[in-house]
Structure 1
Amino acid sequence: MARAPLTAALVVAEAAALADEAGFDAVTLSEVARRLGVRTPSLYSHVRDLAALRDGITDLALRDLADRIALGVAGRSGRAALEGLADAHRTFARERPGRWGSLQRRAGPAAVGADGARAVVALTDAVLGGYGLPPDERVHATRLLGSTINGYLTLEGIGSFAHSSPPPQASWDRILDALDAVLRAWPART
């Protein structure tokens, strides 16, 4: 059977699969080339360098995450939309750990400005708009959500909650309740 022609999308998809299997830091041009059965220089026709390859994974991850968030928040508002947003992140982190890892770094301008990034921002903004937060306050609330969700998922991912009771789901539900309460009582600017 003939091998499919190499494309940028195929190279990034293989790198993303490697990230999910072995961790984001395991992604190198030489390892991706080995997995594709080509020599490393062959990849340079499709990706500029390792940074561009990693940004490609980030872009792929953001598009996938945006799709999951959109499904999680559709037709919901308030606490239900917040839960849909947060659970989309949590499920994504569990199912695509290497791609999740690609979101835990400072990405390049191409990834930050890509459609997936804009979609995640717009969906998060819509959830916050449902709480009545004015646009100039949403950046602060977005940072609060990101810090809380990412921090929890990082600790959960490394097994920090596996050694004690109650189960992590109970804490997750309490955190979402607390975030909901904070967003409902967001302080007005004076």
Structure 2
Amino acid sequence: MASRPGLSRSIIVQAAGELADRIGLDKLTLSEVAKHLGVRTPSLYNHIDGMDGLRRELSLLGLQELDRRLQRAALGKAGDQAISAMLQAYRAFAKERPGVYATTLAPAKDDELLRSASDAIIDTVLTVLEPYQLHPDVAIHIVRGFRAIGHGFATLEVANGFGMPFEVEESYERLIATFLLGLCMATESKSPTT
């Protein structure tokens, strides 16, 4: 079967990402993507391997975009300023691309390309942490904390989980400041057990 001129894997994935962000990943179907693109559903199979293949491509797209945003946020900055900017970028990505972001949360460990894209994000954060001279084990704990802050706050925010009449931005800035204080304390001890 010939593929429709102008239709490509990239176009399909971009369209699916836009839809996932708008309607939610749980409602994303191949028929919705085909309708959005103005094609018949079977046309998509010339470029992607069904819904599982599409989700894999969305995950790759999301991981790569998140890494680019984190790198861009840290550009020209160092130390606490870089970490703070990256946490702001993480939160912004999770809020702006909720459907695509959802595909990045647990990439398949047996997929080398996805694992590599996920590892690239970790490497980006570890690179920014280098000036703190952390023990490698401590650095991994800090990376996990970094992710938990960006993910947890944005997820609660998207779900309207902050109902009290306090400025959400100030809450996030205070959370980042507290994290940075903890990071400062972690630099005082190079041991992985403290």
Ranges of 4+ aligned residues in structure 1 off by more than 6 Å: none
Deviation at 1:48, TM superposition (A): 1.1
Q: Is the 8 A contact 1:61 1:99 kept in 2?
A: yes
SS of corresponding position for 1:113: helix
Deviation at 1:93, TM superposition (A): 2.0
What is the aligned residue count?
185
1:189 to 174, 188, 192: 192
TM-score where L is the length of structure 2: 0.86
| Alignment CA distance shift 1:27-1:75 (3 Å) | same
Q: Is the 8 A contact 2:70 2:89 kept in 1?
A: yes
Letter of the aligned partner of 2:169 in structure 1?
A: Q
CA distance in 1 between partners of 2:70 and 2:164 (Å)? 30
Match of 2:164 in 1: 164
Unpaired segments ≥5 residues, structure 2: none
Match of 1:7 in 2: 8
Match of 1:36 in 2: 37
Deviation at 1:59, TM superposition (A): 1.3
| Alignment CA distance shift 1:6-1:110 (3 Å) | farther
1:179 aligns with 2:179: yes
Match of 1:112 in 2: 114
Unpaired segments ≥5 residues, structure 1: none
TM-score where L is the length of structure 1: 0.87
SS of corresponding position for 2:132: coil
Deviation at 1:111, TM superposition (A): 5.3
Q: Is the 8 A contact 1:78 1:180 kept in 2?
A: no
Letter of the aligned partner of 2:183 in structure 1?
A: L
* 1:115-126 correspondence runs (5 A): 116-126=117-127
Deviation at 1:110, TM superposition (A): 5.1
CA distance in 1 between partners of 2:131 and 2:179 (Å)? 14
Percent of counterpart pairs with the same letter? 32
CA distance in 2 between partners of 1:69 and 1:76 (Å)? 12
Match of 1:25 in 2: 26
Deviation at 1:15, TM superposition (A): 0.4
Deviation at 1:113, TM superposition (A): 2.8
Q: Is the 8 A contact 1:69 1:123 kept in 2?
A: yes
Match of 2:149 in 1: 148
| Alignment CA distance shift 1:36-1:110 (3 Å) | farther
Q: Is the 8 A contact 1:58 1:111 kept in 2?
A: no
